[in-house]
Amino acid sequence: MEKDQKDQHEKDGQQNGGMGIRGVTRPMAEKQVREHNKKMHGSGQDSGGSMQMDSEMRKKMLHMHHMQTLWVYWTIILLGAWVLLSPLTFDYGIGTVEPSGGREVWLSMPQRIAFMKWSDIISGALLIIFGWRGLTPNRPVSIWICCFIGIWITMAPLLFWSPSAVAYLNDTLVGALIIGLTILIPGMPNMIMYMKMGPQVPPGWSYNPSSWPQRWIMIVAGFIGWVVSRYLAAFQLGYIDTVWDPFFGEASEKVLNSSMSHSMPVSDAGLGAIAYTIEFLMGWMGSPARWRTMPWMVALFGILVIPLGLVHIFLVISQPIVVGPGARSACWRRPSCSP
């Protein structure tokens, strides 16, 4: 009987105002949140059926959550040290390559090497500094700075046309990890201080549009798009000589080195990889109640997904127009030939 009452309290606490389990893997935090929700359900439930939290209670929850996710900020510090030491461990001037198709870029080879080197050194140092500040609770600005540094690390190899495949691989992976460690696993910085309580199913809806069954398709599609786009970007940046495409065959190489693609200042496939990285991570963000706790994020997710779909349609339609039926598969190897 006592166990049934306990299970019912947990169920009611999650449905009638539970804070929602934010992040990905925090079993200890989840347990204490549920215990806190049960106490609130027993003594702090208002007549409207939703639980309220005063500022003092929110501060206690914030401190508890920070202590249980402290490993996140130590990991950010370690990744900062890794990024800072990467240019000193892996010489970015060895094994350099030129972009595919004879593409001209806005930096010379020495500048590309130097910019990538100093970008990683400065970014790593900043991650160590602000990751250290993040060890103290209630410092959301420091966490957001780390998040934007992660975005910058992801973009730097494209902006500077990284001549080293090691730098590109290292920065894209570490950048994604930093973004996930700052706003995905622990949740949005200081969200406990302002999130609203309420049910998980929106009023007037028969199901929850933010539930995991509704989100997993977009998460899987975003991950696949991320992997494929990084592969195509590796070709445009010059790290691999050919692209295997089971659907369009040799036409993919021609599109990647077409005049439309070369008109962009950075790798268009690399930009797609960044967009898919953000889409994949945003799919994981928040609990099933995120339509209520972070509606702005749901709106941004829709804004990101819809344009990506439109871009896909545009590329498929423009492929025969841009490439043309008479383009040659080896055309990109000769700068004088422009498909």
* 287 part of a folded domain: yes
- Domain boundary among the residues 150, 184, 218 is at 184
Question: Are 145 and 215 contained in the same domain?
Answer: no
* 40 part of a folded domain: no
**Positive or negative torsion for Cα 161, 165, 169, 175:** negative
Query: Which is more confident, 44 or 171?
Result: 171
- Per-residue pLDDT tens digits for 224-233: 989 999 999 9
Q: Please report, to the nearest 10 degrees, the dihedral formed by the alpha carbons of residues 295, 301, 303, 309 taken in order.
A: -150
* 34 part of a folded domain: no
> What confidence score (pLDDT) does residue 189 get?
83
Average model confidence (pLDDT) for the chain? Answer: 79
Number of compact structural domains in the chain? 2
Q: How confident is the model at residue 60 (pLDDT cuts 50, 70, 90)?
A: confident
Q: Which of 3-7, 173-177, 208-212 has the lowest mean pLDDT?
A: 3-7
* 272 part of a folded domain: yes
* 56 part of a folded domain: no
Question: Are 216 and 335 contained in the same domain?
Answer: yes
Cα dist from 155 to 158, 171, 176, whole Å: 6, 8, 11
pTM > 0.85: yes or no: no
Question: Are 128 and 165 contained in the same domain?
Answer: yes
Query: Which is more confident, 18 or 121?
Result: 121
* 238 part of a folded domain: yes
Tokens of 243: 């692209």
* 240 part of a folded domain: yes
Q: What is the mean pLDDT of residues 299-305?
A: 74
Residue 304 pLDDT greater than 80, yes or no: no
Which residues neighbour 64 within 8 Å (Cβ) at sequence distance 6 or greater? 29, 32
Q: How confident is the model at residue 323 (pLDDT cuts 50, 70, 90)?
A: low
> What confidence score (pLDDT) does residue 333 get?
35
CA nearest to 278, candidates 229, 207, 339: 229
How many other C-beta atoms lie within 10 A of the C-beta of residue 203? 7
Query: Which is more confident, 19 or 136?
Result: 136
Residues 292, 205: Cα–Cα separation, whole Å: 13
* 30 part of a folded domain: no
Question: Are 311 and 258 contained in the same domain?
Answer: yes
- Per-residue pLDDT tens digits for 249-278: 777 888 888 888 888 899 989 998 998 898
Question: Are 282 and 171 contained in the same domain?
Answer: no
> Which of the residue ranges 192-201, 278-287, 297-306, 320-329 has the most confident prediction, judged by mean pLDDT?
278-287
Tokens of 68: 């249980």
For 246, which DSSP code? T
Q: Which domain holds residue 85?
A: 68-91+109-184
